[in-house]
Chains A and B, each alone.
Chain A
Amino acid sequence: MMYRMMTLALACLVAFQAPALQAQDGPLRLEIKEGVIEPMPFAVPDFVPESGAAEELSRNIARVVAADLSGTGLFREISQDAFISRVTSFSSPVQFADWKAINAQALVTGAVAVDGTGRVTAKFRVWDVFAGQELGSGLQFVGTVDGWRRIAHKVADQVYSRITGEGGYFDSRVVFVSETGPKDNRAKRLSIMDYDGANLKYLTDSSSIVLAPRFSPTGDRVLYTSYESGFPRVYVLDVASVSRRLLESQDGTMSFAPRFSPDGRTVVYSLIQGGNTDIYTMDIATGASQRLTNAPSIETAPSFSPDGRQIVFESDRSGTNQIYVMNAQGGEARRISGGTGQYGTPVWSPRGDYIAFTKQSKGRFHIGVMRVNGEEERLLTASFLDEGPTWSPNGRVIMFTRETQGAQGQSRLWSVDITGRNLRQVQTPGGASDPSWSPLQ
C-alpha cells in the first residue's frame, strides 16, 4: 500500500531565521463563524524547484495547496497573472509591498527537492503580508514522488490550521460506493479516493450490492454491508490488504448500518430478526454481541459519540422517524429531534458539538445539523434526495449523497460547510453514494 510505505516526516526548519519585523496589527486570523464572510485573498506562487527533477512537482504541489484552500470557500486565490513579484529563491526576503499591492493577505512560499532515491522534500512558509511577518515557522515534509499529493495536502492543512486556528481536513480519504448502470439494474462497487477525488481505487467488484462503508477511527479498516452471501450482512475490510471478513452471520438474520466505536474495537449495527430491526454491538475481536434496543419499532443508523459513551440513532417508535440518544450500553433513550418531518441517519460530529442528520419534509430531503440536545436545528441543503451525511475530520464540512429525480436519476457526492455555505459537488468518475470521510492521515 502506497500510504503505508510512505514515511512522512515533519521537521522544523530551524535553519531559517524568521524576519525581524514587528506586527503592525493583530496576526492574520480567519475566524470561521456564522454569517456571510468575504473569502480571504491569498497567493501561492509555484514552489521553487531545488533539484532538476523537482520542476513539475514544485508547480503541481503549489497548485494542489491552492486548490485545497480555495475549495473551503474561506479563501480566494489570486491569479498568478496578477503577481508583481516572482519567488525564485526560498530564502530570499519576501517583497511584502508587491503582495500588498495585489491585496494578497496570505502568501504561501515553498521549495521542493527530489533526491536520487525518489525522496521528495517540500518546505514552506506562510506569510501574513499586511503584518509583514511569517505566520508560524517554516516546516518541511518528506515523502515519495508517488505520494506528492499527500505532501501538498499536508502543507495545505498547515496553512489552513495556522490561519483559522482549527485542524485541517485535506490529507484525508473518502470511502464510498461507485454506481454504474440504470436505476433498475445498478451495479455498486466499494471505492476509496482522496478527499478531493484523486487516486480513486476500487475495493470490491460489482457482483454484489454493497452499501454504506464506514471508516475505522484510524482509517485502516472499513465496515460495510454486502449481499455477497445472498443476504445483507456486515463485513469488515482491511484497507491496506483489501481482505474482508464477514462479521455477523447468524442464520435467518440480516445486518446492516455498521459503525465503529471511537476506540475501533466495537461495531454498533442493526440486526433484522423476524422482520424487526434493533441495534446491537459486537466486539470485533471476540465476536461477542450485545443487544441494545428491544422494541417492535425500527431502530437503526446508530452512531457513537466521540467519547464512546453514547449512541445516537433513528427510530420510528413514536410513529414517525425521529432521532434518539441512549447510553452506549443501551437502556432508556431520549428523543432529541423535535421538528416536523422525518429524521434519519444521525452522525455525531468528531468534535462532539453537533449531530448531522437527513431530514425528509414536505417531499424534500435535507442535510442538517443540530446540537446534541436537539437544539439549534439548521438545515444546510434541500433537494429531491439528499442523505447520509459524513463529517470532515475537523467537523467543519459535511459530505453526503445527492440523487437526482426521475428515470435518469443518478447519485453524486456533494459537500457543504456546517454553516450552509460552499455547497459543491465532489469529483467522482461516475455515480457515487454513501461517502464516509476518514480521519486525517
Chain B
Amino acid sequence: MKTTPTTNKRERGTKMKTFQKAMILGTGLLLAACSSPDRFGDSTVDLNGTGANSGVIAGSASDPTSPAYFSQTVGDRVLFPVDQHTLTSTAQQTLNGQAQWLLRNTDYDALIEGHADEQGTREYNLALGARRANSVQEYLISQGVPSTRLKVISYGKERPIEICSEESCYAQNRRSVTVISAGAGV
C-alpha cells in the first residue's frame, strides 16, 4: 500500500496541476470543446449535476465536498509548540472544522501525519510526531468522527515543509497534517 504523504512537494505539485486543469476545464468549458479533445488527457471531470450553473467545480477547492476544499479552506494542518503535543485553541478550532467536514463527507477517510522540527534526535522526533498525530486523532474522535475512518503516521523530522534552521521554519514543521483519502467503502 502506498499512502500519500501530502507534504511531499512533488506530489502536491501534481495535485495542484490537476486542480488547475479542472479549473480551466470548468471555466472554459466551451473553449475546451474547441480544443483538441486530448488536450486534457487524464483529467476527466464530470460536470453533470455538480452545479456547473452555480460556478462550483467538482473536485476543486470551491467544491466544499472536495479534499482540496478540506486542505485549503477548512485547513488540513495544526501547529504545535516545541516538544508539545497538546492542542492549542487555534488548533482545536481547525480540528472542529475538520471533524465537521469528515462527518459531512462520509465517503472519505483521513490519515493524520505527525511531524517534528529538526531539533531533536531521529528517534525522539518519531515518537513525538506519533504523539501529535494521536492528539489530533483523539480530538477528532471526541468530535464524533468514527475511529475506523482515522489512521495515524509519524514522519518525525523526515518531512519538513520549511527548510531554514530558524524558529520561523521550525514552527511550521511542528505540525500535524490531516490527509484525506477515498474511504474504504468507496
The chain A residues found within 8 Å of chain B, CB to CB, are: 182-186, 209, 211-212, 229-232, 252, 254, 256-257, 270, 272, 274-277, 298, 300-301, 314, 316, 321, 342, 344-345, 358, 360, 384-385, 387-388, 403, 405-407, 409, 434
Q: Are B1 and A272 in contact (CB under 8 A)?
A: no
In Å, the complex CA distance between A256 and B130 comes to 12
For A409, give the chain B residue with the smallest CB separation: B165
In Å, the complex CA distance between A212 and B122 comes to 9
In Å, the complex CA distance between A360 and B8 comes to 28
Q: Are B154 and A232 in contact (CB under 8 A)?
A: yes
Interface size class of B (residues with CB under 8 A): 35 or more
Q: Are A405 and B165 in contact (CB under 8 A)?
A: yes
Q: Are B121 and A407 in contact (CB under 8 A)?
A: no
- Shortest C-beta distance, A157 to chain B (Å), equals 31
- Shortest C-beta distance, B114 to chain A (Å), equals 8
Q: Are A232 and B161 in contact (CB under 8 A)?
A: no
For A404, give the chain B residue with the smallest CB separation: B165
27 contacts between A and B (CB under 8 A): A182-B163, A184-B160, A185-B9, A185-B10, A186-B158, A212-B123, A230-B1, A230-B153, A231-B3, A232-B126, A252-B151, A257-B126, A270-B126, A270-B127, A275-B133, A276-B134, A277-B130, A298-B127, A300-B127, A301-B124, A321-B124, A344-B120, A345-B121, A360-B121, A388-B121, A388-B122, A405-B165
Q: Are A384 and B165 in contact (CB under 8 A)?
A: yes
Q: Are B123 and A256 in contact (CB under 8 A)?
A: yes
- Residues from chain A with Cβ under 8 Å of B158 in the complex: 186, 209, 211
In Å, the complex CA distance between A360 and B120 comes to 7
Supplied contacts A185-B10, A254-B130, A277-B130, 20 more A-B pairs, CB within 8 Å:
A184-B9, A184-B159, A184-B161, A184-B162, A185-B9, A230-B2, A230-B153, A256-B126, A270-B123, A275-B130, A275-B135, A276-B130, A277-B131, A344-B120, A344-B121, A360-B120, A385-B118, A387-B121, A388-B122, A407-B165
For A182, give the chain B residue with the smallest CB separation: B163
Q: Are B122 and A183 in contact (CB under 8 A)?
A: no
- Residues from chain B with Cβ under 8 Å of A276 in the complex: 130-131, 134
Q: Are A272 and B163 in contact (CB under 8 A)?
A: no
